[in-house]
Amino acid sequence: MMALKSKFIILPLVALLWAGCFNALGAARPIPIVLDTDIGSDIDDAFALDLILASPELDLRAVTTVSGDTHARARLAAKMLSEAGRGDVPVAAGEPGAMLDIAQTKWADGFTSPALRSESALELLKVQIDRAHGKITLVPIGPLTNIAALLKQYPAMAKKIKRIALMGGSIARGYYPNSPPSAEYNIAADAAAAQTVFSSGIPIVMAPLDVTARLQLDEAHCQRLFALHGPMPQALRALYALWGHPTPTLHDPMAVALLINPGLCQSKPLHVEIDAQGMTRSIEGKPPNATVALDTDPAKFIEFYMSRAAPSSVR
């Protein structure tokens, strides 16, 4: 066990760097982030947005949407933000793609808001990155299409992004217990974009299936959350009903959580490469391009999530 632990990065200094800069009084300043999401497909994007809004350590500057009907996804994100009292956060849609099942977006049919911007996701990303002077962390929890397009259209952006914290990939395990590595959806949906991002030189924090596929929010936790009367629990309850499956797996919230509490996972610097089929492989002998979460305690993570999303229900 000690030999295993020695392989992982658990230094206090690393944790401080992940948590962001500290002011003269020692209080942590919120980390400025932009969320890039395919909200409306799986339910975990909505849970991730909820975690962001419930976390004072994070300063959400903008949301961009990716994959399929990106405008419907943008309406959904903007309605969630409005329900949470954050209608000030701008939302922009990426380029539309192939039609996908996004039943959750029915919840936001007809929703309008000044937060829904007419400019493209790329333009909103560029504005937010330029404005933050090197402090923005991008949090892509869907395919990496928007991020790769940004880097190709505006190559100078790579040096202005502090880091990327993403959900994606598979190193030693796939979607199911004891399964081999899989071509994880977010990476495989646009493998070329993932290749661009992982070769960009931007520091990457990676939450792969190795940790995220273990994070099931069971019925008891769902009932405790949905029983609350606040706007966000009720929004999640409505989206859960439209989603139509019994047990959410909180893949995407782990990418968010690693910015708040990196100690939730044991992580290791790796050099990750992506093949044409979207497989993510660790390559020995090359300089690391990502800090990869490889192990976690699922019960500890669920406790962390519930303490933010449903604090009054935590016993």
Q: Is 245 a catalytic residue?
A: no
The tens digit of pLDDT for each residue in 245-270 reads 999 999 999 999 999 999 999 999 99
How many domains does the chain fold into?
1
pLDDT (mean) for 292-310: 97
Query: Chain-centre distance of CA 123, in angstroms?
Result: 20
The tens digit of pLDDT for each residue in 91-126 reads 999 999 999 989 999 999 999 999 999 999 999 999
pLDDT (mean) for 156-173: 98
Whether residue 16 is contained in a domain is answered as no
Query: Chain-centre distance of CA 60, in angstroms?
Result: 12
pLDDT grade for 312, boundaries at 50, 70 and 90: confident
Whether residue 4 is contained in a domain is answered as no
Q: What is the residue-wise DSSP string for 283-297?
A: -TTS---EEEEEEE-
Whether residue 20 is contained in a domain is answered as no
The values of phi and psi at residue 103, to 5°, are -60, -30
Whether residue 5 is contained in a domain is answered as no
Whether residue 18 is contained in a domain is answered as no
**Which of 133, 221, 251, 271 is flagged as catalytic?**
251
Is residue 176 predicted with pLDDT exceeding 80?
Answer: yes
167's tokens = 């959900």
Greatest CA span in the chain, whole angstroms?
56
Is residue 8 predicted with pLDDT exceeding 80?
Answer: no
pLDDT grade for 79, boundaries at 50, 70 and 90: very high
Higher confidence at residue 7 or residue 310? 310
pLDDT for the residue 221? 97
Share of the chain above pLDDT 90, in %: 89
Contact 306, 225 (CB under 8 A): yes
Whether residue 12 is contained in a domain is answered as no
pLDDT (mean) for 38-47: 98
Q: What is the residue-wise DSSP string for 11-38?
A: -HHHHHHHH--B-TTSPBPPEEEEEEE-
- Residue-wise over 183-196: b if at least 16 C-beta within 10 A, else e? bbbbbbbbbebbbb
The tens digit of pLDDT for each residue in 196-230 reads 999 999 999 999 999 999 999 999 999 999 999 99
Beta carbons within 10 angstroms of residue 297's beta carbon: 14
Higher confidence at residue 14 or residue 195? 195
Whether residue 196 is contained in a domain is answered as yes
Distance CA 252, CA 42 (A): 10
Query: Chain-centre distance of CA 91, in angstroms?
Result: 16
pLDDT grade for 27, boundaries at 50, 70 and 90: low
pLDDT for the residue 3? 42
Is residue 315 predicted with pLDDT exceeding 90?
Answer: no
Lowest mean pLDDT among 12-26, 165-179, 214-228: 12-26
SS3 for 253? helix
pLDDT for the residue 314? 54
Whether residue 7 is contained in a domain is answered as no
Share of the chain above pLDDT 70, in %: 90
Beta carbons within 10 angstroms of residue 127's beta carbon: 17
pLDDT grade for 28, boundaries at 50, 70 and 90: confident
User: Cα–Cα distances in Å, from 274 out to 20, 84, 278, 283?
Assistant: 29, 37, 6, 10
Domain that holds residue 288: 28-313
SS3 for 224? helix
Averaged confidence pLDDT in the chain: 92
**What's the CATH code of the domain at 112?**
3.90.245.10
Q: Which helix (H) or strand (E) holds 207?
A: strand 204-207
